[in-house]
Structure 1
Amino acid sequence: MTLIYGHRGARGEAPENTLISFQHCLKQGVNRCELDLHLSLDGELMVIHDPTLRRTTGRRGKISEHLADDLTTYDARLGLTHWPEQSPIPRLAELFEHCDFEHWQLEVKSASKKRALHTVLAIQNLVQQFNLVDRVTLTSSSRTVLKAAQQQAPRLSRGFVAEYSWLEPVKVAQRYGCEFLVLNWKLCTPARLKRAHQAGLHVSVWTVNEPEQMRQLAHMGVDSLITDYPSKAVLALGFTA
């Protein structure tokens, strides 16, 4: 059975990476999600994809230049302007409190060694606080982040996010002790999928939004797919997550 992950909650159906988006995802019967994290100025884990505020809030500056209390007042529905309710940037802790997902993919973008370490440790502490160690996988395309997680938070499941094939994705995932290989769907060939499964990796493909593509990848044998449209995926695959 191919599992379904809501991308940034339900990016195509509600304002991405907001509490309402993740709640909407759950309402579709999809109980797994993927999200993105950046540290605020005061070191809190904020759920937002870009390092800057402009695209989703229209504001200036980097996430790292704003306090968490201020960030949670910024309306992040700019990319989905028809949405009727204000949708602020959430803390990760808020999602953990209000959304009962079976599994979370927490993606950390590229970072300096210092920032990667601080982010990894912040995730580890929050995951332990909410007793979610068995329900979280920290993912990243950054080998700096994966190395920090491998060394400083070994109990956290790890996943390598692969967008390009010039780094052999399966080998990189193995090098950093990953359990997940999070593949750009265009890289998901039967041969690569077979190698990943032989290496014991869960293969999760992104971002899959067309029903026929969903069915083809499920037939190929991917373990999970990440989609902007969880409601569409449920219909396409004929079952809930």
Structure 2
Amino acid sequence: MTLIYGHRGAKGEAPENTLVSFQRCLEHGVRRCELDLHLSRDNQLMVIHDPTLKRTTGRRGKVAQHNADDLVGYDAREGGPGWITPCPIPRLAELFEQCDFDHWQLEVKSASKTRAARTVTAIAELAERYGLNDKVTVTSGSREVLRALQRLTPHLSRGLVAEYAWLDPLKVADHYGCDLLALNWTLCTPERLQKAQKAGLHVSVWTVNEPALMRRLADFGVDSLITDYPGLAVTTLSHRNTVAGT
């Protein structure tokens, strides 16, 4: 059974990484999501993909240069599907409060040693506060972030985001004690998938938006797909008795 994760909520249907995007994902019955995190200037976890504000809000500057109270006032509708009402950048705490997901993939981008430590500690504190320790996997392609997770928050599930094959992703995942491998779909061969699953890794493949590719990867036996179109994925995979998000 292949599970479905909404990518940045339902990125193809609503402005990415906003509350309405995650609500749209849940409306499709998809109870798993993937999102991106950056720290604000006052060390709050903000749900936004880029380190800069330009692409999604049209504003200048970096997320890290703004306090959370200011960031939640910025409209993040730019560069995505049309939306009538403003869509603020959310705090992760807001999503934890308002969205009842069964599992969260929380991706942390590259960071300095100090920033990685602050970020993973903040995630651990928030997961503990909302009772979500067993519903969170923190993922990253950054060795610095994975090291911080291993050292500071060993109780949290962690995952490697693998986009390129220049290093064996299975060896890297094993080195950092990961239990999830978020694999670019172009790297997902049946052989690599089987080897990863034999090593005990949950293999989550991204970003999968074409029905034919969804079916092919499900036939391979991937554990989960990350998609911009969770509704389409539910429809496409339903005849395979796939249950979204369970």
User: TM-score scaled by structure 2?
Assistant: 0.97
Match of 2:69, as an amino acid?
A: D
Q: Distance in 2 between matches of 1:139 and 1:209?
A: 21
Preserved contact between residue 105 and residue 139 of structure 1 (Cα < 8 Å): yes
- Measured against aligned partners, the alpha-carbon deviations of 1:86-145 in whole angstroms (never above 9, x if no partner) come to 100000000000000000000000000000000000000000000100000000000110
Q: Distance in 1 between matches of 2:186 and 2:81?
A: 30
DSSP-derived class of the 2:164 partner: coil
Preserved contact between residue 8 and residue 35 of structure 1 (Cα < 8 Å): yes
Number of the residue aligned with 2:226: 226
Number of the residue aligned with 1:75: 75
- Measured against aligned partners, the alpha-carbon deviations of 1:165-206 in whole angstroms (never above 9, x if no partner) come to 011001100100001000000000011011101110000000
Alpha carbons of structure 1 residues 85 and 208: separation in structure 2 relative to 1, 3 Å: same
Written as runs of structure 1 = structure 2, the 5 A alignment for 1:1-241 is: 1-80=1-80, 82-238=82-238, 239-241=242-244
Preserved contact between residue 29 and residue 240 of structure 1 (Cα < 8 Å): no
Q: Distance in 2 between matches of 1:40 and 1:10?
A: 24
Q: Distance in 1 between matches of 2:220 and 2:183?
A: 14
- Measured against aligned partners, the alpha-carbon deviations of 1:66-90 in whole angstroms (never above 9, x if no partner) come to 0000000000001136211110000
Q: Distance in 2 between matches of 1:230 and 1:160?
A: 22
Match of 1:141, as an amino acid?
A: G
Match of 1:174, as an amino acid?
A: D
- Tell me by how many angstroms 1:240 deviates: 4.1
DSSP-derived class of the 1:80 partner: coil
- Measured against aligned partners, the alpha-carbon deviations of 1:140-160 in whole angstroms (never above 9, x if no partner) come to 000110010001000000000
DSSP-derived class of the 1:119 partner: helix
User: TM-score scaled by structure 1?
Assistant: 0.99
Match of 1:106, as an amino acid?
A: L
Match of 1:112, as an amino acid?
A: S
Q: Which moved more, 1:73-82 or 1:226-235?
A: 73-82
Preserved contact between residue 14 and residue 81 of structure 2 (Cα < 8 Å): no
* Count of matched residue pairs: 241
RMSD: 0.7
Gaps of 5+ in 1: none
Match of 1:181, as an amino acid?
A: L
